[in-house]
């Protein structure tokens, strides 16, 4: 790379900048060499750690492979088995449940608190930082342990529930409640999208609201006609990011269920099941098929968001 | 419980916003409008009423903020204070103030797990996090320089491939990566966890750097080139110093993400002396079954100390980083 950098500098040394006709080809070649020299670490990483492994897992998805035997081609077997596997279907179901309930709640909380904070200037910076804090630690093992301790039988949440007459028992041991416990954990981390919403709210020119007031628009109207459309690019960004991330919940589910995905597979989320199949049972072909279904699904969702965005995302100013 | 508070704030805040503007409206009307008609007395009365309404809204606003703040704070405060409670008095303690305080839990936590010192785990996490910071800062700025400052054929293609990996679930690469590192005999070393950082495998950071570098004035490197500086020189002596703010942001997130990472270490680190803090924590929970909540809480607190320190020192950088680049926490 030093070589390339020197080569790129060579044409300029000594010679005046005129006479481009003879200099330009070598200069461009030097630029190309310098460009690829700078790109080399990323290219190695991209080819060796991303693109290569993606192709490899695509191949493995069509094989029966454990770490100890060579892969054996089985065609579409893994994929057809997936859709006959009740544990797999269960993992899809609870992951969708988690994403479809958790993401809207989290974004609603984020938007609500952002608008609340935006309505007053004083103390906004401090509140913003403070409310953001859970996003930084929420995915950690520590917080998952705390969550487990709080939602366990006779734990804090159970006691509070008893206080208002709910005899729900612990959420940790109740297969119908574990998903909601993790949804609360993700909603608790509304700070990150909130900060992004706040930045978006600051961009909305105040004149729009003033003009709307002159026209006699009420608060709901202003919200739906000004705030939401003006905020839609930010909302789009948050929606894509949060949805894609919510499909990948792993650590907190792992810890809360003490590494089992239980009780009764109720925390066996998609990636957890993938981990169990791939790294506990070493059915790496099967797990690769799972990974590819996830990628295709996430890709489809993202594409869906982008395709529909032209109907509801408004970019102000020139361009679209 | 918190879901209910959240959705009600979501519905409530447009009203709060409306309140703000009407309050201003009636306020000025009270000052200017009715003075000649109703006399000074009526004016004062309506002004007082407006102020009372404003106070009511202020109380409501702060009430909401406090409620949200309490929900935010409670789990963390509960964790920290529980760590100072005797182990059998933790579960089910709704109140935050401990009756008895003890440091036993921290003694237990510091004594380590299975004969391995607490500081071994701490050191492993620290080594990986610092490695991630160095690797990401170097590799992502280096790559960004190629994308933002050099013109070469194929750049557009590589750039869009890089962008395409932004949202890619890493699960699709993790199995072949594991097989590869296993073949190379690198499982149970730190290599698999660090190599990607030095090869700019996390597209997010590259993207962040490219965005920042594109906004730096071109004249700087052009004049440097006229003075005979090569790309390497421009990258090192001109770009890197100018990129300090974005590198601080990237470093903070690289550190915290590496520190909190669970999946990677879970797959690659097998022997306990290589465990990171999150793995050790998980091991501890696994071993102690039910009873020792105190030790778990103390360990959990200790595992978060570096993250919280970072947050306290760099909160402006962190939150502004999220606001401007959409970095996730």
Kindly tell me the burial class for residue A296, based on how many C-beta atoms sit within 10 Å of its own C-beta (0-12, 13-18, 19 or more): exposed
Using a CB-CB cut-off of 8 Å, the residues of chain A touching B178 are 279
- The pair of structure tokens assigned to B124 is 């492993």
Which B residues, 183 through 222, put their C-beta within 8 Å of a C-beta on chain A? 195-196, 198-201, 206
Residue B262 has its nearest CB partner, among A136, A244, A251, at: A251
Q: Is residue B90 part of a domain?
A: no
Helix (H) or strand (E) holding B287: helix B277-287
Instruction: Give yes or no for B275 touching A (CB within 8 A).
Output: no
Instruction: Decide if A149 and B195 are in contact by the 8 Å CB cutoff.
Output: no
pLDDT beyond 90 at A157: no
Suggest the residue from B69, B165, B173 to mutate for an interface test with chain A (most A CBs closer than 10 A). Answer: B173
Within this chain, do residues B67 and B183 fall inside the same structural domain, yes or no? no
Within this chain, do residues B237 and B315 fall inside the same structural domain, yes or no? yes
Within this chain, do residues A249 and A289 fall inside the same structural domain, yes or no? yes
* pLDDT band, very low/low/confident/very high, at A69 (cuts 50, 70, 90): confident
Which range among A19-23, A93-97, A249-253, B141-145 shows the weakest confidence by mean pLDDT?
A: A19-23
Instruction: Give yes or no for A69 touching B (CB within 8 A).
Output: no
Give the residue-averaged pLDDT of B299-306.
94
Q: Is residue B133 part of a domain?
A: yes
- The pair of structure tokens assigned to B199 is 């090869």
Tell me how many helices (H) and strands (E) chain A has.
16, 2
Instruction: Decide if B17 and A127 are in contact by the 8 Å CB cutoff.
Output: no
Q: CB under 8 Å to A14, separation ≥6 — which residues?
A: none
Residue B286 has its nearest CB partner, among A105, A259, A274, at: A259
Q: Is residue B277 part of a domain?
A: yes
pLDDT beyond 60 at B201: yes
- The pair of structure tokens assigned to A183 is 């949804």
Suggest the residue from A140, A154, A278 to mutate for an interface test with chain B (most B CBs closer than 10 A). Answer: A140
Instruction: Decide if A57 and B182 are in contact by the 8 Å CB cutoff.
Output: no
Q: Is residue B58 part of a domain?
A: yes
Which range among A147-151, A205-209, A313-317, B316-320 shows the weakest confidence by mean pLDDT?
A: A313-317
First to last CA, chain B: 23
Cα separation, A189 vs B3, in Å, equals: 12
Which range among A102-116, B12-26, B231-245 shows the weakest confidence by mean pLDDT?
A: B12-26
**Residue whose pair of structure tokens reads 């859709």 in the numeric block:** A83
Q: Is residue B266 part of a domain?
A: yes
Q: Is residue A109 part of a domain?
A: yes
Last residue of a domain, one of B66, B82, B98: B82
pLDDT of residue B115: 86
Within this chain, do residues A135 and A170 fall inside the same structural domain, yes or no? yes
pLDDT of residue B122: 95
Q: Is residue B101 part of a domain?
A: no
Within this chain, do residues A41 and A98 fall inside the same structural domain, yes or no? no
Give the residue-averaged pLDDT of A283-304.
95
Answer yes or no: are the C-beta atoms of A138 and B329 closer than 8 Å.
yes
Cα separation, A13 vs A24, in Å, equals: 14
- The pair of structure tokens assigned to B30 is 């009270």
Cα separation, A208 vs A213, in Å, equals: 9
Q: Is residue B96 part of a domain?
A: no
Which range among A92-101, B102-111, B253-262 shows the weakest confidence by mean pLDDT?
A: B102-111
Give the residue-averaged pLDDT of B136-160.
95
Model confidence pLDDT, tens digit, residues B101-138: 889 889 888 888 888 999 999 999 999 999 999 999 99
Other C-beta atoms within 10 Å of B120: how many?
16
Model confidence pLDDT, tens digit, residues A2-17: 444 444 444 444 444 4
pLDDT beyond 80 at B291: no
Within this chain, do residues B60 and B180 fall inside the same structural domain, yes or no? no
Within this chain, do residues B34 and B163 fall inside the same structural domain, yes or no? no
Which A residues, 93 through 152, put their C-beta within 8 Å of a C-beta on chain B? 105, 108-109, 111-113, 115-120, 127-143, 145-147, 149-150, 152
| DSSP per residue, A210-277 | HHHHHTT--HHHHIIIIIHHHHHHHHHHHHHHHHHHHTT--HHHHHHTTTS--STTTT--HHHHHHII
Within this chain, do residues A233 and A301 fall inside the same structural domain, yes or no? yes
Within this chain, do residues A150 and A264 fall inside the same structural domain, yes or no? yes
Beta pairing, strands A63-64 & A72-73: antiparallel
Suggest the residue from B231, B292, B298 to mutate for an interface test with chain A (most A CBs closer than 10 A). Answer: B231
Q: Is residue B97 part of a domain?
A: no
**Residue whose pair of structure tokens reads 């081609």 in the numeric block:** A73
Within this chain, do residues B217 and B268 fall inside the same structural domain, yes or no? yes
Three-state DSSP at A174 gives coil
Answer yes or no: are the C-beta atoms of B69 and A194 closer than 8 Å.
no
Q: Is residue A93 part of a domain?
A: yes
Within this chain, do residues B29 and B122 fall inside the same structural domain, yes or no? no
Give the residue-averaged pLDDT of A84-99.
96
Q: Residue B192: closest CA among chain A residues belongs to which residue?
A: A49
Instruction: Decide if A184 and B3 are in contact by the 8 Å CB cutoff.
Output: yes
Helix ranges, B90-228 (H):
104-110, 118-149, 155-164, 171-183, 191-198, 203-214, 218-226
Q: Is residue A204 part of a domain?
A: yes
Average per-residue pLDDT in chain B? Answer: 83
CATH number at residue B241: 1.10.3720.10
Q: Residue A276: closest CA among chain B residues belongs to which residue?
A: B267
Selection from A186, A162, A182 nearest residue A172 by Cα? A182
pLDDT beyond 90 at B185: yes
- The pair of structure tokens assigned to B230 is 């090569």
Within this chain, do residues A156 and A285 fall inside the same structural domain, yes or no? yes
pLDDT of residue A171: 87
Within this chain, do residues A31 and A101 fall inside the same structural domain, yes or no? no
Last residue of a domain, one of B82, B98, B133: B82
Residue range(s) defining the domain that contains residue B281:
108-325
Within this chain, do residues A55 and A91 fall inside the same structural domain, yes or no? no
Q: Which residue has the higher pLDDT, A125 or A240?
A: A240
pLDDT of residue B42: 67
The tally of domains found in chain A comes to 2
- The pair of structure tokens assigned to B300 is 């959990």
Give the residue-averaged pLDDT of B296-306.
93
Selection from B15, B231, B315, B42 nearest residue A40 by Cα? B231
Other C-beta atoms within 10 Å of A263: how many?
15
Instruction: Decide if B6 and A113 are in contact by the 8 Å CB cutoff.
Output: yes
Model confidence pLDDT, tens digit, residues B33-82: 344 444 566 667 766 766 776 788 888 888 889 999 999 999 999 999 99
Residue A136 has its nearest CB partner, among B64, B195, B311, at: B311
pLDDT beyond 70 at A121: yes
Q: Is residue A318 part of a domain?
A: no
Residue range(s) defining the domain that contains residue A12:
2-60
Answer yes or no: are the C-beta atoms of A34 and B231 closer than 8 Å.
yes
Within this chain, do residues B73 and B113 fall inside the same structural domain, yes or no? no
Which range among A105-109, A220-224, B138-142, B264-268 shows the weakest confidence by mean pLDDT?
A: A220-224
pLDDT of residue B329: 45
Overall pTM > 0.80: yes
Q: Is residue A127 part of a domain?
A: yes
Within this chain, do residues A228 and A287 fall inside the same structural domain, yes or no? yes
Instruction: Give yes or no for B79 touching A (CB within 8 A).
Output: yes
Which range among A110-119, B39-48, B212-221 shows the weakest confidence by mean pLDDT?
A: B39-48
Instruction: Decide if B260 and A137 are in contact by the 8 Å CB cutoff.
Output: yes
Q: Is residue A68 part of a domain?
A: no
Answer yes or no: are the C-beta atoms of B221 and B158 closer than 8 Å.
no
CA-based nearest distance B280→chain A, Å: 10
Within this chain, do residues B146 and B289 fall inside the same structural domain, yes or no? yes
Using a CB-CB cut-off of 8 Å, the residues of chain B touching A17 are 226
CATH number at residue A159: 1.10.3720.10
pLDDT of residue B318: 85
- The pair of structure tokens assigned to B77 is 């405060």
Q: Is omega for the bond preceding A292 within 30 degrees of 0, making it cis?
A: no
Answer yes or no: are the C-beta atoms of A171 and B296 closer than 8 Å.
no
pLDDT beyond 80 at B25: no
Model confidence pLDDT, tens digit, residues A264-283: 999 999 999 999 999 999 99
Answer yes or no: are the C-beta atoms of A222 and A232 closer than 8 Å.
no
* pLDDT band, very low/low/confident/very high, at A162 (cuts 50, 70, 90): confident
pLDDT beyond 90 at A25: no
Phi, psi of B82 (to 5 degrees): -60, -35
Kindly tell me the burial class for residue A257, based on how many C-beta atoms sit within 10 Å of its own C-beta (0-12, 13-18, 19 or more): buried
Phi, psi of B92 (to 5 degrees): 85, 0
Three-state DSSP at A63 gives strand
Give the residue-averaged pLDDT of A219-239.
92
The tally of domains found in chain B comes to 2
Within this chain, do residues A160 and A302 fall inside the same structural domain, yes or no? yes
């Amino acid at each position: 790379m030093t070589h390339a950098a020197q080569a790129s500098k060579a044409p300029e040394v000594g010679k005046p900048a005129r006479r481009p006709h003879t200099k330009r080809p070598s200069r461009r070649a030097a630029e190309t060499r310098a460009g690829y020299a700078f790109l080399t670490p990323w290219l190695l990483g991209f080819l060796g750690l991303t693109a290569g492994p993606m192709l490899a897992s695509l191949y493995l998805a069509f094989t029966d492979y454990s770490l100890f035997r060579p892969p054996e081609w089985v065609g579409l077997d893994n994929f057809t088995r997936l859709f006959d596997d009740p544990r797999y279907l269960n993992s899809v179901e609870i992951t969708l449940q988690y994403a479809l309930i958790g993401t809207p709640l989290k974004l609603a909380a984020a938007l609500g608190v952002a608008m609340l904070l935006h309505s007053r200037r004083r103390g906004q910076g401090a509140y913003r930082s403070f409310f953001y804090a859970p996003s930084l630690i929420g995915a950690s093992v520590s917080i998952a342990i705390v969550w487990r301790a709080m939602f366990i039988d006779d734990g804090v949440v159970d006691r509070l529930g008893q206080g208002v007459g709910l005899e729900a028992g612990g959420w940790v041991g109740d297969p119908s409640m574990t998903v909601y416990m993790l949804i609360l954990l993700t909603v608790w981390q509304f700070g990150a999208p909130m900060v992004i919403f706040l930045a978006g709210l600051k961009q909305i020119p105040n004149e729009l609201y003033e003009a709307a007031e002159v026209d006699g628009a009420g608060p709901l109207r202003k919200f739906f006609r000004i705030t939401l459309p003006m905020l839609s690019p930010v909302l789009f960004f948050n929606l894509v990011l949060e949805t894609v991330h919510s499909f990948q919940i792993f650590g907190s589910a792992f810890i809360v269920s003490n590494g089992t995905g239980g009780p009764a597979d109720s925390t066996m989320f998609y990636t957890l099941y993938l981990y169990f199949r791939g790294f506990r049972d070493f059915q790496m072909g099967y797990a690769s098929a799972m990974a590819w279904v996830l990628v295709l699904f996430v890709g489809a969702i993202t594409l869906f968001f982008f395709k529909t965005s032209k109907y509801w995302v408004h970019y102000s100013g020139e361009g679209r | 419980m918190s879901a209910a508070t959240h959705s009600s704030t979501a519905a409530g805040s447009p009203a709060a916003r409306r309140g703000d503007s009407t309050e201003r409206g009636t306020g000025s009307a009270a000052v200017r409008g009715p003075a000649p008609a109703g006399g000074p007395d009526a004016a004062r009365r309506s002004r007082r009423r407006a102020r009372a309404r404003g106070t009511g809204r202020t109380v409501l606003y702060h009430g909401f903020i406090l409620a949200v703040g309490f929900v935010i704070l409670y789990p963390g405060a509960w964790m920290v204070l529980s760590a100072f409670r005797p182990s059998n008095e933790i579960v089910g303690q709704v109140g935050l103030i401990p009756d008895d305080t003890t440091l036993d839990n921290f003694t237990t936590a510091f004594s380590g797990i299975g004969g391995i010192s607490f500081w071994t785990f701490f050191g492993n996490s620290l080594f990986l996090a610092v490695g991630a910071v160095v690797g990401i800062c170097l590799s992502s700025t280096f790559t960004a320089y190629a994308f933002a400052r050099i013109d070469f054929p194929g750049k557009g293609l590589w750039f869009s491939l890089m962008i395409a990996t932004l949202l890619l679930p890493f699960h699709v690469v993790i199995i072949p990566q594991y097989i590869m590192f296993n073949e190379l005999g690198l499982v149970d070393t730190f290599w698999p966890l660090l190599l990607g950082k030095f090869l700019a495998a996390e597209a997010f950071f590259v993207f962040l750097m490219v965005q920042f570098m594109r906004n730096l004035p071109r004249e700087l490197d052009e004049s440097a080139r006229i003075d005979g500086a090569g790309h390497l020189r421009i990258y090192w002596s001109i770009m890197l110093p100018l990129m300090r703010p974005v590198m601080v942001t990237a470093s903070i997130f690289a550190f915290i993400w590496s520190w909190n990472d669970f999946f990677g270490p879970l797959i690659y680190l097998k022997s306990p002396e290589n465990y990171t803090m999150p793995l050790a924590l998980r091991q501890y929970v696994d071993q102690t079954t039910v009873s020792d909540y105190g030790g778990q809480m103390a360990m959990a607190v200790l595992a978060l100390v570096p993250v919280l320190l970072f947050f306290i020192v760099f909160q402006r950088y962190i939150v502004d980083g999220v606001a401007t680049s959409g970095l996730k926490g």
